[in-house]
Amino acid sequence: MSLIHLEALHKEYHLGGQTVRALDGVSLDIGGGEFVAIMGASGSGKSTLLNVVGGLDRPNAGRVLVDGVDIAALDERGLCAYRQRRLGFVFQKFHLLAAQTAVENVEFPLVFAGVPEAERRRRALRALEAVGLTDRAHHRPAELSGGQQQRAAIARALVNDPDLLLADEPTGNLDSHTGLEILNLLMDISRRGRTILMVTHEERLAAHAHRIVRLRDGRLDD
């Protein structure tokens, strides 16, 4: 049974008097525990697809079923709960808070979830340990390398123990060696049973995924 079922997704944006069709009838099934790479040229709809699955954007038409629940039909409170309980997000830009240490950044999602302070710290340190960053827990982002910052961002994405990880160009700001380290980390997370959707433009990285999904002009490129 599919964890994610996308059915005839359409998404349009209106920019400067023009209509941009970002998704044009995309249907796709993704199984639990799959590591799927999403590829395509700039403007093909990759990030839009990820944002729709993540509940950050709503489709104009179609259904987004996650464990049988159509998240496209949820209200804002329902979407917030979905993102807090089911998802972890990793972006190309690390989006770490400069004034906070690595462990404080990792704790941040737990504040909104209402987790008590001592439990927040315990979970955050455990997440940093999982990404090999325990020794940098009390350093601020400016004191971390690019790869270490991305590890901290991945720890933050994992701290709520989500079953679905969405990664948008997670190695885009990293050199090739560090990017491969982050890919290996994502592969290890996948082996632990989490479902991963990763947008990337790098064929060498996508080749390590279980499956590659290609988009062209908002459609699946079969």
Assigned domain for 115 exists:
yes
Assigned domain for 12 exists:
no
Assigned domain for 161 exists:
yes
Assigned domain for 83 exists:
yes
N-to-C CA span, the chain = 22
What pLDDT, on a 0 to 100 scale, did the predictor assign at position 14? 84
Q: Which residue has the tokens 């994405």?
A: 157
What pLDDT, on a 0 to 100 scale, did the predictor assign at position 2? 83
Q: Which amino acid is at 167?
A: A
* Number of structural domains found in the chain: 1
What pLDDT, on a 0 to 100 scale, did the predictor assign at position 1? 64
From CA 85, how far away is CA 161, in angstroms rounded? 8
Instruction: Give 221's pLDDT tier (boundaries 50, 70, 90).
Output: confident
Q: Helix, strand, or coil here: 80?
A: helix
Q: Which strand (E) or helix (H) includes residue 114? A: none
Assigned domain for 24 exists:
no
Assigned domain for 10 exists:
no
Instruction: Give 125's pLDDT tier (boundaries 50, 70, 90).
Output: very high
Alpha helices in 88-130 (DSSP H): 102-112, 117-130
The candidate with the shortest Cα–Cα distance to 105, out of 144, 48, 54, 61, is 144
What pLDDT, on a 0 to 100 scale, did the predictor assign at position 177? 87
Assigned domain for 87 exists:
yes
CATH number of 165's domain: 3.40.50.300
**Is the confidence at residue 222, as pLDDT, over 80?**
no
pLDDT digits (tens, 9 = 90+) for 10-30: 999 887 778 888 999 999 999
- What order do you get walking across the sheet with 2-15 strand by strand? 18-31, 2-15, 61-66, 69-70
Angstrom distances, CA of residue 41 to CA of 81, 118, 182, 204, 221 = 32, 45, 22, 16, 11
Mean pLDDT across the chain, nearest whole number?
91
Q: Residue 122 belongs to what domain range?
A: 31-58+76-220
The candidate with the shortest Cα–Cα distance to 139, out of 126, 152, 158, 150, is 152
Assigned domain for 118 exists:
yes
Instruction: Give 213's pLDDT tier (boundaries 50, 70, 90).
Output: very high
Which residues of the chain form beta strands (DSSP E)? Answer: 2-15, 18-31, 35-39, 61-66, 69-70, 87-91, 164-168, 195-199, 211-216, 219-220
